[in-house]
Structure 1
Amino acid sequence: MARITAGVGSSHVPLLGVAVDQGKTGDDYFGPIFAGYEWTRQWQATEKPDVVILVYNDHASAFDARIIPTFAIGCGDHYRPADEGWGPRPVPDVEGHADLGWHIAQSLILDDFDMTIINEMDVDHGLTVPLSMMFGTAERWPVKVVPIIVNVVTYPVPSGNRCWALGEAIARAVRSFPEDLNVQIWGTGGMSHQLQGARAGLINPAWDNNFLDGMIGESDRLRHVPHIEYLRETGSEGIEMVMWLIMRGALGARTRCLHRHYHVPCSNTAIGHIVLEPLE
């Protein structure tokens, strides 16, 4: 059967894609950021996952205000990098795993999650930047991807508890897939940041690191953090961190931390990154 062998959390700051594409990952500014991913790139080369279930939010590339799904899943075979206003990133197209995607979609819907099913879309930096951070530059991505898209752009957004429960349901779906697959689940977005208004530039390292602490071990306290706390402590865009809870929920009751990285600054936010192993 398929199995989820690890969870990865990572920011998906678009500036990091620029650094990769322009060959600036080793300079004075970006060097410390990318150094924190070196362990993970070496680990991925050893782990060789077959599929990544990649949780991210679309940034008005596949959706806009006309259509706002709370949860969506990509069930296609192929996804192109999106043009986000300055041309598509010069990275490989993303290869999907349609069989696993459709299996997860069916399982989730029968498990009472109303998923929007997508067979064709372009994917933006929310998905391609994490791939670059974990695998560097490549002529072809070494994994297939099942995208999970979460609305954290327009309120109302799903609660942390609902996201955690979705992760639990994804884990059940993966375990029931008959093919022998090494599957990882990634939660992306965050950390604390606000892009506009009087608090633009807000970064809260203490809260961010407390959140990273909560991903490790047996506690499920993070699933109960209310929206107002994210807004107050992490800014208007910090709500993206609920997407990490889908990853954490999929890992079961206990986790062990394999690697952790946090760095300020990166653009107008912080970089958070963690690699977790399920222990149940």
Structure 2
Amino acid sequence: MLGLALASAFAPAMFREAVDWPRIHAWLTNGAPQPLDLASETREVVEQQIARIRAAYDVLRQQLEAFRPDVIVMLASDSGRVFTRVQVPQIATYLGEEIWGSTRYAEIAEPAEDDVVRLPCAPQLAAFLHRELVHLGFDVSYSRTLRPLGQPEYGTTAAFVAPARVLMPSLDIPVVPIYINTLVWPAPNGHRCYALGQSISELLSEREERVALLACGGLSHDHHGPRAGWIDQPFDRWVLEQVARGKGTEMKSMYDLESDALRGGGGQVRLWIIAAAAAETLGAKARIVDYFPSGSAATGMGFAYWPIAVAGAPR
């Protein structure tokens, strides 16, 4: 049964110390013109942003600890570590016993071995979800072993392993990693993402395991793109308003529009649509933990959770 859903923005700098932020920002923005107000984000402001990220994750971790899940279904997009343009699945489940990845980045010459996180997996639940989603008409790929094609030494995407270590420091809760294509065009539209979330929720209702769902990506950003460093606050706040009102269906048509603003990191809001659909299927509305635009992290930072009304779930 699904008893808790969580959603978090993701940026390479968010779990790093302030001293690392300028170097990561330079990599993400790659010389693109920056907003004038970036100058106001001093070292002190960055420290305050780090404190807000940590405080938000404290709330998410407390929700997770209160629910005591047996398994966490994790949703993230790959940024080229595991998949290359040779093969880009729209949806892919990982069926292995363990998944690993580095929180460091090859693009800024950080050795992968400096910080590797290993997560136990739940292959039986993963296989169940994979099989049943295919039966429901979703074209889901799968992998039983982790053999990254893009950056073999770095393992899976940091969007899986970096948040997981903060949310469960003991790394003892098995996970079901599901990759969603959000970056390579064409990608699943909002209608398909909402239907996927509904189906995941309905399938989990057949299971005895206590399951939490974690979506990690977004909010607005355009790392390495022409709008890198620019944050679409109206877009971010609109997304958060919809999930807080239990109106994730309003986001279904979002990707019907052809727009540069919805490519790049804006495409990762697909993960939030899936999480919202899964929770709303069970009557839950999101509680927004925090939101702030971070020019220094080049990302709109949003955090939310859906307390689902089942026995033992946080209220």
Say yes or no: TM over 0.5: yes
Gaps of 5+ in 2: 21-45, 147-154, 311-315
Partner amino acid, structure 2, of 1:216 = A
Percent identity for Structure 1 against Structure 2: 21
Q: 1:278, CA displacement in angstroms?
A: 3.4
- CA-based RMSD: 2.4
Counterpart contact for 1:152–1:239, Cα < 8 Å: yes
SS in 1 for 2:292: strand
Q: 1:264, CA displacement in angstroms?
A: 2.4
Q: Could you tell me which of 49, 54, 76 is aligned with 1:34?
A: 54
Q: 1:170, CA displacement in angstroms?
A: 1.1
SS in 2 for 1:267: coil
Q: Distance in 2 between matches of 1:212 and 1:157?
A: 22
Partner amino acid, structure 2, of 1:13 = A
Counterpart contact for 1:74–1:117, Cα < 8 Å: yes
SS in 1 for 2:204: helix
Q: Could you tell me which of 263, 266, 275 is aligned with 1:247?
A: 275
TM-score normalised according to structure 1 size? 0.87
Q: Distance in 1 between matches of 2:197 and 2:141?
A: 16
Q: Distance in 2 between matches of 1:41 and 1:61?
A: 27
Q: 1:90, CA displacement in angstroms?
A: 2.3
Greater fraction strand: 1
Q: Distance in 1 between matches of 2:97 and 2:199?
A: 23
Q: Could you tell me which of 71, 75, 83 is aligned with 2:91?
A: 71
TM-score normalised according to structure 2 size? 0.78
Counterpart contact for 2:9–2:218, Cα < 8 Å: yes
Q: Which runs of 4+ in 1 moved over 6 A?
A: none
Q: 1:29, CA displacement in angstroms?
A: 4.5
Match of 1:115 in 2: 140
Q: 1:165 to 1:97 in 2, by over 3 A?
A: same
Larger radius of gyration: 2
Alignment map for 1:174-213 (pairs within 5 Å)? 174-177=204-207, 180-213=208-241
Q: Could you tell me which of 171, 187, 190 is aligned with 1:160?
A: 190
What are the Cα deviations for residues 20-59 of structure 1, in whole angstroms up to 9, with x where unaligned? 9x9xxx9445112212222222222222211111110111
Match of 1:150 in 2: 180
Q: Distance in 1 between matches of 2:253 and 2:282?
A: 15
Q: 1:181 to 1:31 in 2, by over 3 A?
A: same
Q: Distance in 2 between matches of 1:214 and 1:229?
A: 21
SS in 2 for 1:16: coil
SS in 1 for 2:285: strand
Partner amino acid, structure 2, of 1:164 = Y
Q: 1:165 to 1:88 in 2, by over 3 A?
A: farther
Gaps of 5+ in 1: none
Q: Could you tell me which of 133, 144, 167 is aligned with 1:134?
A: 167
**Range with greater deviation from structure 2 (150-159 or 213-222):** 213-222
Q: Distance in 2 between matches of 1:197 and 1:104?
A: 34
Q: 1:109 to 1:14 in 2, by over 3 A?
A: same
